[in-house]
């Protein structure tokens, strides 16, 4: 009990100290550094020449704000349907979370099919389930179709589970998604130990549709595919305002304007005040990643020898995989300081060492972070903000696959007037400004849970 009280005091101090201000767990877009992070992905990505800033006026059918997976996939799928678009970004393609995430192509959604049915209704549910089941397929189809060099592999995704509540939930989750047509299977403790090289987990789930990519290379590959299809992309072109212009819209930028019939906001976790209430639909949460030096084969053959993408249900969840060069790429929650872009990955590295003590023999060479857009209900959002104005956001850690799919859905909505995922109205989260406090509380609770769980405490 004395040890637990001391741990509580240290956790309280960590959360509320000047070095870990709670406001940093939810992004303030005004504090975002515009510098590229010194990440493994930036060091190893395929090249893409800087795209010029917009100067003067441009006219197009669709103006897209944001050159990440959502915006680029929207533009690409519009081009495949013969619809012209212009993409603008305050930086360059892949600068946001599309170039910072763990590269995991994770299938399905975090919600149960029964919950999806209650929200979308019986008539729409079958179409929504098909979309959720097809997200990973779309990523790898685009990689093949456009010959994107992004280290794409598809050995499957593993959700690792700790504790009795997690075991009960995952059994329920698997049974529902199997009925819904997902290729998911249960992994017992022994099989988990063989597949992950650690005995920390009680059971798990394998979905063979999952995999991984080099995320910045994938983003740049999508940008290259867009350019090849005639899409115009402008980097270093911050959108400053959106206003009505006749029957269409004008997007004002730092150097000009885009006049268009329809607007797509594809800013996700980096959404700002450009459209009132948009960013209040999601909660951006800092996610940090550390990467080791390349590990020798005798180590990687013991740690996730199948090269699966992995995440778990610990109090502070982590996600990890071995990349093409044999590096451990390990991510989780932490602190990200907006103005400088600096990160504190101490908790992430400690979690990695608890799972795999052998990593203590090797150097950690890269640390970086970004913002994951979460929704309170764990569903992604396709929003219709006004006539001809749309947004896609809120992927809850499934962004590589779901953002790519969201781009196709937005293109279908604009070009064909329909899509399998019903468009929703903006519904800002009540008391959104207080969510940093809630996130800080959940992090304290998560750390306490991990401290009192023997399997994690090691």
pLDDT of residue 360: 98
> Hey, what are 106's tokens?
């994770």
pLDDT of residue 315: 74
pLDDT of residue 10: 43
pLDDT of residue 428: 80
> Which CATH code for domain 56-156+209-282+379-427?
3.50.50.60
| Complete DSSP assignment for 42-90 | HHHSPP-PPPPPP-EEEEEEEEEE--SHHHHHHHHHHHHTT--EEEE-S
Name, in order, each residue with C-beta under 8 angstroms of 97's C-beta and a sequence gap of 6 or more: 68, 268, 269, 270, 370, 371, 372, 373, 399
Instruction: Kindly list the domain boundaries of the chain, sorted by start residue.
Output: 1-31+283-374+428-458, 56-156+209-282+379-427
pLDDT of residue 285: 87
pTM: 0.89
Euclidean distance between CA atoms 143 and 85, whole angstroms: 21
Helix, strand counts (H, E) of the chain: 13, 20
pLDDT of residue 199: 95
| Complete DSSP assignment for 369-399 | EEEEEE-TTS--EEEEEETTEEEEE--TT-H
Question: How do beta strands 184-187 and 203-207 pair?
Answer: antiparallel
pLDDT of residue 265: 98
pLDDT along the chain (458 residues), means of 10: 44 36 38 76 98 98 99 99 98 97 93 90 93 97 99 98 88 91 93 97 96 99 99 97 96 96 96 90 92 98 96 90 98 66 81 97 96 91 97 95 98 95 88 54 47 45
Euclidean distance between CA atoms 126 and 129, whole angstroms: 5
Taking domain 1-31+283-374+428-458, whether its CATH number is 3.30.9 is answered by: yes
């Amino acid at each position: 009990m004395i040890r637990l009280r001391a741990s509580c005091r240290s956790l309280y101090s960590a959360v509320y100290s000047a070095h870990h201000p709670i406001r940093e767990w939810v992004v303030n877009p005004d504090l975002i550094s515009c510098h590229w992070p010194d990440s493994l992905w930036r060091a190893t990505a395929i090249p893409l020449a800087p795209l010029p800033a917009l100067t003067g006026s441009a006219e197009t059918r669709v103006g897209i704000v944001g050159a990440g997976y959502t915006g680029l996939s929207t533009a690409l799928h519009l081009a495949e349907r013969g619809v012209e678009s212009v993409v603008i970004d305050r930086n360059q393609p892949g600068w946001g979370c599309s170039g910072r995430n763990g590269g995991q192509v994770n299938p399905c959604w975090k919600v149960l099919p029964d919950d999806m049915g209650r929200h979308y209704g019986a008539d729409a549910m079958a179409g929504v389930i098909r979309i959720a089941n097809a997200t990973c397929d779309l990523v790898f189809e685009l990689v093949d179709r456009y010959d994107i060099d992004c280290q794409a592999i598809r050995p499957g995704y593993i959700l690792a589970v700790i504790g009795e509540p997690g075991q009960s939930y995952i059994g329920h989750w698997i049974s529902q998604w199997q009925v819904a047509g997902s290729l998911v299977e249960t992994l017992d403790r022994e099989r988990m130990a063989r597949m992950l090289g650690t005995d920390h987990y009680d059971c798990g789930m394998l979905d063979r549709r999952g995999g991984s990519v080099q995320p910045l290379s994938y983003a740049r590959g999508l940008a290259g595919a867009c350019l090849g299809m005639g899409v115009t992309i402008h980097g270093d072109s911050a959108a400053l305002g959106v206003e009505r212009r006749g029957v269409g819209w004008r997007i004002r930028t730092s150097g000009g304007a885009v006049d268009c019939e329809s607007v797509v906001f594809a800013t996700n976790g980096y959404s700002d005040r450009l459209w009132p209430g948009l960013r209040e639909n999601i909660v951006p949460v800092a996610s940090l990643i550390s990467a080791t030096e390349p590990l020798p084969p005798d180590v990687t053959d013991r740690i996730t020898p199948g090269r699966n993408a992995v995440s778990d249900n610990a109090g502070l969840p982590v996600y990890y995989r071995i990349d093409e060069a044999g590096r451990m790429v390990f991510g989780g929650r932490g602190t990200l300081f907006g103005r400088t872009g600096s990160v504190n990955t101490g908790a992430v590295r400690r979690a990695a060492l608890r799972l795999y003590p052998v990593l203590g023999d090797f150097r950690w060479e890269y640390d970086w972070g970004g913002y994951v857009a979460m929704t309170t209900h764990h569903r992604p959002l396709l929003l219709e903000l006004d006539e001809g104005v749309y947004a896609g956001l809120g992927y809850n850690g499934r962004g590589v696959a779901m953002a790519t799919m969201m781009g196709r859905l937005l293109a279908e909505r604009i070009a064909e007037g329909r899509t399998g995922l019903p468009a929703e109205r903006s519904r800002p989260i009540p008391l959104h400004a207080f969510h940093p406090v809630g996130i800080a509380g959940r992090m304290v609770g998560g750390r306490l849970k991990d401290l009192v769980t023997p399997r994690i405490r090691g």
